[in-house]
DNA sequence: TAGACTTACTGTCACTCTGACAGGAAGACC
DNA sequence: GGTCTTCCTGTCAGAGTGACAGTAAGTCTA
């Protein structure tokens, strides 16, 4: 505050998206192959610069969601994940990224032929493996997004966002098992899910078959927070003990 | 992507701080009275613009923490809270704020005579009441910060950040009661806290008195996450049921 | 020095929730 | 009609929680 007309340094804002969905009982994220420098040819999260001076951040996220993934704002969970603003994260200068986490139900087909040169659903395990180098700090952002989803499955009804408008309890269990990466006991899962009032509500007498006994259909209930939380079997908790 | 030399709109970045502490068993936040326009004279969260082009975001938070609150980086929890970037939140133009949540142990005295015209610890209940109008969207940021602290007390060892290097179990219970705003049973609290391995560890045979029987001293343990979580009596959970 | 008082701490008991099993119900396929 | 698959309902022991009583170890007061 020494000078009177000191001007703060301007920065450029990007919005990056961690879009998660389930495909064949496996957690996938949408990645694009970058068509321009920097990191041309590398895999990256979909995203882009703020459109104009007056664009709201979440509106920008919705816009990118539509442009790069063909996803409308309906039936889609979208929440802010965090800011990533290390000074050297982008060689073009000071670019700060606002990351959003989107949860989408299973979609017809991988989107392509849109703005991004190529968009493909990639298993997160593969995307986070050592040999797949993501652009910028997108590996960190993706890791944080998956962690956030794992945590929110414990205490919120977020899991239903992975499903369509109606779903069976088995499908919901698939979500938990895929995101957490651990098997769950179906019987205890049935009991728990049905005991939490307002989590899922029956969706008519309709049923759909898949080889065995037809399953009842449910749809998301009004409850958004789970008390008590859904318990996740500890696998990483013990290494934090030491 | 119609033009080849389209330039993204630059924005200005501020770092705002929600600094929480306990004073007389009551949750307080540090607020300053703004000395300049806009919102001159109104109460606001401490914060300021990014210092220079190469400044890291968390470093900027630490800098503001030192300038406006006199708090060093030691013995202080600091984490990112979120981004607040509504287009009309600042009349000066497009100013996007990165909010950080800081938890500080009880400090000697309210800081003043530093950069800000006036800094004072304010009970959060009072700061969030209708008659105290905070500048910008700082009421929302403060609300989010308090909510974040409430949630993290359930599943992490964050409560120890409110205490000094050593503390008694009663002091720790004070933290939970003040942040959650509900009374807890001391006996159950003792049992729970001591049963979670690595949460708190005895700090020597020393004791300090406060009128009654001397209490054992503890210090934070290596455990950062609590499994199973500390249970919060439901008060707002039932209104989410409807 | 013997209370009274304050705070710290240890147990106990009933209840709920969870994890780990077995077994029946309802369709499709052969 | 059997067999397969998937869906769904119970049962039981152990862990964890909420509610409550009682003891321990200091200070203060008379």
pLDDT in tens, B169-218: 999 999 999 999 999 999 999 999 999 999 999 997 777 777 889 999 99
Touching check for B80 and chain A: CB below 8 Å? Answer: yes
User: Nearest nt (C1') to A210 (CA)?
Assistant: D6
Angle between helices A186-195 and A169-180 (to 10 degrees): 110
Q: What is the mean pLDDT of residues A125-145?
A: 93
Instruction: Give CATH for domain A12-154.
Output: 3.90.79.10
Query: pLDDT value at position B240?
Result: 44
CB A232 within 8 A of CB A162: no
Any strand D atom closer than 7 Å to B2 CB: no
Instruction: Answer whether B235 touches A (CB < 8 Å).
Output: no
Strand pairing partners for B219?
A: B201
User: Cβ contacts of residue B121 below 8 Å, gap of 6+?
Assistant: B21, B23, B28, B29, B30, B31, B110
Q: Which nt sits closest to B168, CA to C1'?
A: C8
- Please report which confidence band the pLDDT of residue A109 belongs to, taking 50, 70 and 90 as the band edges: low
CB B184 within 8 A of CB B163: no
Chain A segment 50-69 residues within 8 A of B by beta carbon are 50, 52-57
Task: Decide: B103 and B65 in contact? Cβ < 8 Å.
Answer: no
pLDDT digits (tens, 9 = 90+) for B7-41: 999 999 999 999 999 999 999 999 999 888 899 98
- pLDDT, mean of residues B103-126: 76
Strand C: protein residues, Cβ closer than 7 A: A 185, 187-188, 191-192, 195, 209, 211-214, 228, 230-231, 233; B 168-170, 186-188, 190-191, 194, 210-216
Q: Tens digit of pLDDT for each residue in A24-65?
A: 999 999 999 988 889 998 999 999 999 999 999 999 999 999
Q: How far apart are CA A129 and CA B174, in angstroms?
A: 44
Cβ contact B53–A94 (<8 Å): yes
Q: What is the mean pLDDT of residues A77-92?
A: 96
Q: What is the pLDDT of residue B111?
A: 59
Q: Is A223 on the interface with B (CB under 8 A)?
A: yes
Please report the pLDDT score of residue B4 as a whole number. Answer: 66
Q: Which fold has domain B156-240?
A: Arc Repressor Mutant, subunit A (1.10.10)
Closest CA to A51 of A10, A95, A15: A15
Supply the DSSP symbol for B139.
Answer: H
- A interface test, pick of B32, B37, B53, B99 with most A CB neighbours within 10 Å: B53
Q: Is the pLDDT of residue B221 over 50?
A: yes
Expressed in angstroms, the distance from the first to the final Cα of chain A is: 46
Of A9-13, A72-76, A119-123, B121-125, the one with minimum mean pLDDT is: A72-76
CB pairs under 8 A between A and B: 96
Residues of B in contact with A227 (CB under 8 A): 234, 237
Our measurement of CA B232 to C1' D2, in angstroms, reads 54
- In strand C, which positions have an atom below 7 A from any protein CB? 5-12, 17-28
Nucleotide nearest to A168 (CA to C1'): D7
Phi, psi for A148 (deg, rounded to 5): -60, -45
**Helical H runs in A81-136?**
124-127
Cβ B70 vs Cβ B78: under 8 Å = no
Query: Which residues lie closer than 8 Å to A57 by C-beta, 6 or more apart?
Result: A13, A15, A50, A80, A98, B83, B85, B86, B96
Domain ranges of chain B: 12-154, 156-240
Cα gap A241→B22, rounded to integer Å = 28
Separation of alpha carbons A110 and A108, rounded Å: 7
Sort out which chain A residues have CB atoms less than 8 A from B55's CB and list them.
Answer: 87
Listed range (A31-35, A220-224, B144-148) with the worst mean pLDDT: A31-35
B153 CB contacts (<8 Å, ≥6 apart)? Answer: B159, B175, B176, B179, B180, B230, B232
Other Cβ atoms less than 10 A from the Cβ of B114: the count is 15
CB B43, CB B123: distance < 8 Å: no
The pair of three-digit structure tokens given for residue B193, joined into one six-digit string: 């806290």
Give every CB contact of residue A82 below 8 A, 6+ residues apart in sequence.
Answer: A98, A99, A141, A144, B80, B82, B83
């Amino acid at each position: 505050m020494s000078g009177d007309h000191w001007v703060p340094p301007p920065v450029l804002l990007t919005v990056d998206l961690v879009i998660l969905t389930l495909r064949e009982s496996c957690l996938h994220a949408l990645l694009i192959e970058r068509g321009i420098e920097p990191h041309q040819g590398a895999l990256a999260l979909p995203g882009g610069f703020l459109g104009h001076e007056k664009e709201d951040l979440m509106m920008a996220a919705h816009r990118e969601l539509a442009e790069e993934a063909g996803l409308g704002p309906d039936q889609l969970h979208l929440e802010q994940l965090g800011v990533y603003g290390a000074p050297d994260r982008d060689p073009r200068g000071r670019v700060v990224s606002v990351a959003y986490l989107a949860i989408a139900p299973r979609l017809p087909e991988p989107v392509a032929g849109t703005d991004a040169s190529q968009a493909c659903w990639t298993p997160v395990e593969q995307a986070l493996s050592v040999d797949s180098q993501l652009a910028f700090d997108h590996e960190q952002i993706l890791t944080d997004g998956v962690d956030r989803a794992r945590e929110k499955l414990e205490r919120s009804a977020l899991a239903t966002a992975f499903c369509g408008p109606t779903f069976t309890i088995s499908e919901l269990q698939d979500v938990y098992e895929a995101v957490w990466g651990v098997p769950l006991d179906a019987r205890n899962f049935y009991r728990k899910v049905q005991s939490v009032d307002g989590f899922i509500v029956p969706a008519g007498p309709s049923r759909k078959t898949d080889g065995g006994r037809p399953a009842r259909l449910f749809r998301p209930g009004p409850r958004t927070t789970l008390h008590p939380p859904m318990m996740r079997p500890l696998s990483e908790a013990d290494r934090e003990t030491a």
